[in-house]
Structure formats: structure tokens, C-alpha cells
Amino acid sequence: SQQGEEDPQALSIQEGENATMNCSYKTSINNLQWYRQNSGRGLVHLILIRSNEREKHSGRLRVTLDTSKKSSSLLITASRAADTASYFCATDAENAGNMLTFGGGTRLMVKP
Amino acid sequence: DTEVTQTPKHLVMGMTNKKSLKCEQHMGHRAMYWYKQKAKKPPELMFVYSYEKLSINESVPSRFSPECPNSSLLNLHLHALQPEDSALYLCASSQVGKSPVLARLEAFFGQGTRLTVV
């Protein structure tokens, strides 16, 4: 079952612009993760933010987490054409055992 | 070695065939997963193995039969599938979370098997 929704479903920007994707979820979580998927291939882990953290950075990525609103955002700064992919948030829910539940995903296209 | 290797990459099978998907990792991870992904949809969890024991079955039809022969291998046996089972099947592995707050469940995914049922 899908834990939450991602917004927008699709995003098209020019190279150099910033891209912001949002994720909402429904249950209490231990952590939230963001993954990237190039077309028809496996998922690559980008960043993990724990439930007691509010913001995390990794290179050009910035993730925020608001547990009161049950939402997270992923910001990619200075986007590149190579960032074109689908981005998914995934939650590790409390009392859910070892499982990740994925949001619907945002398809990002970065035009050169 | 941070790879999860899935074979085959592509598989076409008839509805009466029996086939198996294979997944292998050598990262010492004791949790392994099967996900199913349809086009333009998120991955949907099918099965979770923890310490080689099936811990989660997300109400998957019995025509899908998982097997975890040892801590490095995960198989998915397929029998009498339907055309609607055509999808990308993803295997993943992770450490087993021990503490809810400190658990780090970064999952490593294979490249998937593209399955077509005809």
C-alpha cells in the first residue's frame, strides 16, 4: 500500500534552476528516505532523515522534514540534465517491521 | 561491494511456464525484499525476509513464491502468472533495524528484472 503522496507528479525545469519536490505521509515514522530512479532501472538511495531531524544536506540536495505536518521536501539546487529521473520518498513506519513504503513519485525533467 | 545483483535482466514467459528470479548481495545485509513496480508507479512491497525468515507477505498471490536459501540469496519463483503480472521486479537489501529511532534502513536496490507474461 502507498504511504503517501508526492507533489508535483511531474516537474519540468531548465538546467541551473532549483527543483523542489514534496512528500506527504500518513503514519508516524522512524525515518524518511529519498530515492532516485532512472527510467526502468533500479532505485538509488539519496538521503535519509530521521524523525528527530528537521533538515539535512548532501551535496546539491537539501531535505526537510516536518513531522507535525507529516511532510518532507527535497530540494535539488543548480539542476543538471543528468538529474532527469523519478524521485520517490519512502517511509519507515513505526511498528511496521523492516519495510519501506514508497510515495507516488515525482518525474523530474531538466532541460539543457 | 555495495551491489545487489538481479538475474535475469529481462524475462518473457508464458502463462503456463515456471521461472525464477534471482537476487544476490554480499554486503552482510540480513533483510531482503521483493518489490513489484508497474510503469509510472511507485514500487510496491511484496515480501520481506529478515534473517532468512519470511517476515512480511503483503497479500501476494500464491503464484509468486519467495525463497531465501541463505543470507546472500533471494529467489522469487513464478508459476502460472497472468499478463497483468508483467512489471519490473526489484530486489533490495538492508541492515536489519534494531532500534526504532536509530535504525538506518537505507535499502540497496538491484537493477530489476523486466518481466513480460504472454
Instruction: List CB contacts (< 8 A) between B101 and chain A.
Output: 30, 50-52
Out of B6, B55, B100, name the one closest to residue A94 (CB). Answer: B100
Instruction: List CB contacts (< 8 A) between B57 and chain A.
Output: none
Q: What is the C-alpha separation between A49 and A9, in angstroms, rounded?
A: 22
Instruction: List CB contacts (< 8 A) between A100 and chain B.
Output: 33, 45, 92, 105, 107
Edge-to-edge order in the sheet of strand B18-25:
B4-7, B18-25, B73-79, B64-70
The grid coordinates of residue A65 equal 522534514
Residue A36 CB contacts under 8 Å (≥ 6 apart), including other chains = A43, A44, A46, A85, A86, A87, A88
- Residue-wise burial string across A58-73, b where 16 or more C-beta atoms lie within 10 A, e elsewhere: eeebbbbbeeeebbbb
DSSP B68-100: EEETTEEEEEEES--GGG-EEEEEEEEPPP-ST
Torsion of CA B1, A94, A27, A42, to 10 degrees: 10
Nearest CA in chain A to B91: A42
Residue type, B51: Y
Checking if the pLDDT of A93 tops 90, the result is no
The average pLDDT across A99-106 equals: 88
CB B106 within 8 A of CB A48: yes
CB contact under 8 A, B48 and A41: no
Cross-strand bridge partners of residue B81: none
Q: Find the angle CA(A73)-CA(A76)-CA(A82) to the nearest 5 degrees.
A: 135
pLDDT in tens, chain B (118 residues): 669 999 999 999 999 999 999 999 999 998 899 999 999 899 999 999 989 999 888 889 999 999 999 999 999 999 999 999 999 999 999 887 665 444 457 889 999 999 999 9
